[in-house]
Amino acid sequence: MIQRLKSLNKPLLLVAAVIAVIGSIFIPSITSSYMLRVLNITMISYLCVLSVYVLLGMCGQNSFAQAGLWGVGSYITANVMMKLGFPTLIAFAASTLGTALFAFVLGFAFFRLRQYYFTFASVGLMAILSGLFMNWKEVTGGAMGISDVPDFSIGGFIANTESSMYFVIIIVCVIVSLLMKVLFKSALGRSFMAIRDNEMAANCLGVNSLLTKSIAFAISGALCGAAGALYANLTGYLSYQSFTYQQSTMYLVMIMLGGTVSPVGAIIGTFIISLLQEWVRPLQNYMQLIYGVGIMILMIVQPEGIIGGGKALYERYVNRKQARSDIKQSL
Amino acid sequence: MKDTLTENKPVLTLSKVCKNFGGVVAADNISIEMFGGQTFGLIGPNGAGKTTLLNLITGIYSSDCGQIHLNGKNITKAPTHKRALLGIARTFQHPRLLERCDIQTNIQLGIDLANKRRRKNPQQLQSEITMLLGYAGLKNVNLSDSVEKLSYGQRKMLEIVRSLLSEPAVLLLDEPAAGLNSKEMEYIVALIKVAIEWDIAVLLIEHSMDLVMGICDQITVLNFGHQIASGTPAEIQENQAVIDAYLGGSGHAAC
């Protein structure tokens, strides 16, 4: 059945991809610079939500510290570029690998805790990071923050406009999304899912829980680190107020809405919530209430999110069609 | 078929392994030797400590005393995943599959484990998969279907196939036939025979006496954590202590 589903989807997917590519190339020329900024921030959020996808969706481990990791990535880029004077690419690599290493080491300590106790530890980590961001003046600029982070540049190309930055970010997003697909199909990805679905069976199949979970946390750290680097280049100004516990929660809300089963869920969730925030600005005071009630309704009606719900609907449709044709044949 | 040298060297040895839970003795000085290409039966009433022993062998529990050797290597203190890498595979009384993944992914996990030791030849692998799925009565399932679509029996079969594909030295089967119909029982026997052919040492926990007596080379009987008898099926069926504790008068009254 799924094979049929795939063959049906292939040309459709191709058309969708072509439209998406052409559309994304023309978006900067038809939207305002303000809207582009919103889009850029949304795509950066998407990277962070993907980090939740890896950790929660694939490996079954929930973290409230993702915005903290995002902040770590941002501050690494700012410091590497401004204090050490390195070019963007090196700063980007330092943010990605540095945050990954940071997450790996912490993961190696935290994942000695079993079940949901990692989540508790991550809440603590977020609190500590918030405190550090606010008070470590030498590195984070303290409450004043860091301003004038240099623009993203490679060789002669300088992404100093909103639209040039848009292309940089979208390219990173596409590459990362493709890497997610590779991860999903790899032995490492399978060992994540084995831990998510049945940790004891995973152990009996040679999967080292502690190491594998730490690697998942490291990969999620790398994603947040990359997002942080892009964010520092994009806005040029870093404030501890961006990297908060609330932001971590927001990433979770985004993936819950989209669905944890696939990266597509991360895309859908991120875009809906981010754009919703823009469109309903007049209702800003009520946003928290709307999220709260919305999540509760979502969890009751469709715990697998929009993607999960869509999949279930589609399967029901295909099954029904199959059943109908079976009946016709038997007549 | 096999040279006598390997025949004489046990693959898995338990020497005086014990485990207590509080005051309850779950395993009391259990000593077992298992050989490649042989099936070793482990029987006893419910609560006798059979599954506990399996958990001790796989490292899910750590033993309080005694030693466990795999191919001469002391694995008493090794964690579960390391023992799996060294070649201990198991199935569970209630199948533990990746519920949110498709059948292919579940199978692939076993292959991943084998690949960690030595890359498998893809062609040979494909024929092995086809053969095993055939023996397991899973020939007609769609591998890209979710495991949620499988029946209870099919899940148990899939778990054994997954274990066999991991190329283990020892295969531990925890009540593989429980809850299965007679057709599915035949699949189990066919899979165990494949394991024997592959020179794997099979440990079988089972309440179905027909299955145990028919297929096992050696049997150990447990009762309240004690090893009350060991021997060939014929010896066990004659053993008075076993009849009193487990088999009952007829010698064939399963469960």
For residue B180, being part of any structural domain is answered with yes
pLDDT for position A1: 41
Q: What single DSSP character describes residue A57?
A: I
* Lowest mean pLDDT across A125-139, A144-158, B105-119: A144-158
> Is there a contact between B68 and B74 (Cβ–Cβ < 8 Å)?
yes
| Burial bucket for residue A148 (CB in 10 Å: 0-12, 13-18, 19+) | exposed
* Lowest mean pLDDT across A47-61, A239-253, A276-290: A276-290
Provide φ and ψ at A264, rounded to 5°: -60, -35
Q: Please check the confidence at residue A34 and state whether its pLDDT lies above 70.
A: yes
Q: Does B238 touch chain A (CB under 8 A)?
A: no
Q: Which residue has the higher pLDDT, A128 or B148?
A: A128
Percent above pLDDT 70 for chain A: 97
Q: Please check the confidence at residue B7 and state whether its pLDDT lies above 70.
A: no
Return the structure tokens found at B208. 């179905």
Residue of A nearest to B55 (CA): A204
Q: Which residue has the higher pLDDT, A156 or A223?
A: A223
Among residues B164, B172, B210, the alpha carbon closest in space to that of B93 is found at B172
Q: How many CB atoms within 10 Å of residue A64?
A: 20
Q: Does B62 touch chain A (CB under 8 A)?
A: no
For residue A25, being part of any structural domain is answered with no
Residue A250: which domain range? Answer: 40-282
Cβ distance A198 to B97 less than 8 Å, yes or no, reads: yes
pLDDT in tens, A7-27: 556 777 788 888 888 888 888
DSSP symbols for A168-207: HHHHHHHHHHHHHHHHHHSHHHHHHHHHHH-HHHHHHTT-
For residue A123, being part of any structural domain is answered with yes
Q: Does A307 touch chain B (CB under 8 A)?
A: no
Quickly state the pLDDT bin for A128 (edges 50, 70, 90): very high
Quickly state the pLDDT bin for B2 (edges 50, 70, 90): very low
Q: Please check the confidence at residue B253 and state whether its pLDDT lies above 60.
A: no
Give the mean model confidence (pLDDT) for residues B189-214. Answer: 91
Q: Residue B34 belongs to a domain with what CATH number?
A: 3.40.50.300
Distance CA A255, CA B182 (A): 46
For residue A110, being part of any structural domain is answered with yes
A interface test, pick of B85, B109, B163, B170 with most A CB neighbours within 10 Å = B109
For residue A16, being part of any structural domain is answered with no
Cβ distance B101 to A204 less than 8 Å, yes or no, reads: no
Residue B193: which domain range? Answer: 4-247
For residue A117, being part of any structural domain is answered with yes
Residue of B nearest to A191 (CA): B109
Return the structure tokens found at A64. 């409230």
pLDDT for position B251: 44
| Burial bucket for residue B250 (CB in 10 Å: 0-12, 13-18, 19+) | exposed
Quickly state the pLDDT bin for A316 (edges 50, 70, 90): confident
Alpha helix segments (H runs only) across chain A: 2-30, 33-52, 66-82, 88-110, 117-135, 137-140, 162-185, 187-197, 199-204, 209-235, 245-258, 263-279, 287-301, 305-330
Quickly state the pLDDT bin for A186 (edges 50, 70, 90): very high
> Is there a contact between B186 and B17 (Cβ–Cβ < 8 Å)?
no
Quickly state the pLDDT bin for A294 (edges 50, 70, 90): confident
B interface test, pick of A205, A211, A314 with most B CB neighbours within 10 Å = A205
Q: Give the number of domains in chain A.
A: 1
> Is there a contact between B171 and B200 (Cβ–Cβ < 8 Å)?
yes
For residue A67, being part of any structural domain is answered with yes
Cβ distance A196 to B100 less than 8 Å, yes or no, reads: yes
Q: How many CB atoms within 10 Å of residue A256?
A: 23
A interface test, pick of B96, B163, B173 with most A CB neighbours within 10 Å = B96
Distance CA B134, CA B146 (A): 19
Distance CA B113, CA B3 (A): 28
Distance CA A209, CA A108 (A): 10
Q: Give the number of domains in chain B.
A: 1
Q: Does B79 touch chain A (CB under 8 A)?
A: yes
Query: Which among A193, A204, A208 has the least Cβ separation from residue B105?
Result: A193
Query: Which among B81, B88, B96 has the least Cβ separation from residue A207?
Result: B81
Distances (CA, A) of B75 to A48, A172, B15, B83, B86: 41, 46, 12, 7, 9
Q: Please check the confidence at residue B188 and state whether its pLDDT lies above 70.
A: yes
Q: Which of A51-55, A271-275, A293-297, B226-230 has the highest mean pLDDT?
A: A51-55
pLDDT for position B238: 83
- What are the beta bridge partners of residue B218? B40
Return the structure tokens found at A258. 């989209």
pLDDT for position A283: 78
Q: Does A186 touch chain B (CB under 8 A)?
A: no
> Is there a contact between A262 and A78 (Cβ–Cβ < 8 Å)?
no
With tokens 């900067």, the residue in question is A28
Q: Please check the confidence at residue A281 and state whether its pLDDT lies above 80.
A: no
Q: Please check the confidence at residue B146 and state whether its pLDDT lies above 60.
A: yes
Give the mean model confidence (pLDDT) for residues A176-198. Answer: 94
Distance CA B124, CA B195 (A): 16
Contacts of A2 in chain B (CB under 8 A): 102, 142, 144-145
Contacts of A194 in chain B (CB under 8 A): 98, 109
Q: How far is B98 from chain A (nearest CA, A)?
A: 5
pLDDT for position B255: 43
pLDDT for position A216: 96
Secondary structure of chain B as H, E, C letters: CCCHHHHHCCCEEEEEEEEEECCEEEEEEEEEEECCCCEEEEECCCCCCHHHHHHHHHCCCCCCEEEEEECCEECCCCCHHHHHHHCEEECCCCCCCCCCCEHHHHHHHHHHHHHHHCCCCHHHHHHHHHHHHHHCCCCCCCCCCEHHHCCHHHHHHHHHHHHHHCCCCEEEEECCCCCCCHHHHHHHHHHHHHHHHCCCEEEEECCCHHHHHHHCCEEEEEECCEEEEEECHHHHHHCHHHHHHHHCCCCCCCC
For residue B253, being part of any structural domain is answered with no
For residue A10, being part of any structural domain is answered with no
Distance CA A253, CA B170 (A): 45
pLDDT in tens, A247-273: 999 999 899 888 888 888 899 999 988
Among residues B81, B142, B111, B88, the alpha carbon closest in space to that of A190 is found at B111
Query: Which among A3, A194, A261 has the least Cβ separation from residue B98?
Result: A194
* Lowest mean pLDDT across A79-88, A304-313, B35-44: A304-313
Among residues A178, A154, A180, the alpha carbon closest in space to that of A165 is found at A154
For residue B125, being part of any structural domain is answered with yes
Percent above pLDDT 90 for chain A: 52
pLDDT for position A8: 55
For residue B9, being part of any structural domain is answered with yes
Q: Return the SS3 of A32.
A: coil
B interface test, pick of A186, A204, A319 with most B CB neighbours within 10 Å = A204
Q: How many CB pairs under 8 A join A and B?
A: 77
Q: Please check the confidence at residue A4 and state whether its pLDDT lies above 80.
A: no
pLDDT for position B249: 52
Quickly state the pLDDT bin for A213 (edges 50, 70, 90): very high
Q: Does B251 touch chain A (CB under 8 A)?
A: no
Give the mean model confidence (pLDDT) for residues B10-19. Answer: 90
Q: Using alpha carbons only, how large is chain A's radius of gyration in Å?
A: 21
pLDDT for position A187: 93
Distance CA A21, CA B192 (A): 54
Q: Does B141 touch chain A (CB under 8 A)?
A: no
Query: Which among B99, B100, B108 has the least Cβ separation from residue A190?
Result: B108
Give the mean model confidence (pLDDT) for residues A238-246. Answer: 91
Q: Does B144 touch chain A (CB under 8 A)?
A: yes
For residue B218, being part of any structural domain is answered with yes
Q: Which residue has the higher pLDDT, A299 or A108?
A: A108
With tokens 């890359």, the residue in question is B119
Cβ distance A204 to B58 less than 8 Å, yes or no, reads: yes
Give the mean model confidence (pLDDT) for residues A299-315. Answer: 82
Q: Does A5 touch chain B (CB under 8 A)?
A: no
Q: Does B97 touch chain A (CB under 8 A)?
A: yes
Residue of A nearest to B145 (CA): A2
pLDDT for position B1: 43
> Is there a contact between B111 and B120 (Cβ–Cβ < 8 Å)?
yes
Q: What single DSSP character describes residue A327?
A: H
Query: Which amino acid is it at A2?
Result: I
**B 175-194 near A (Cβ less than 8 A):** none
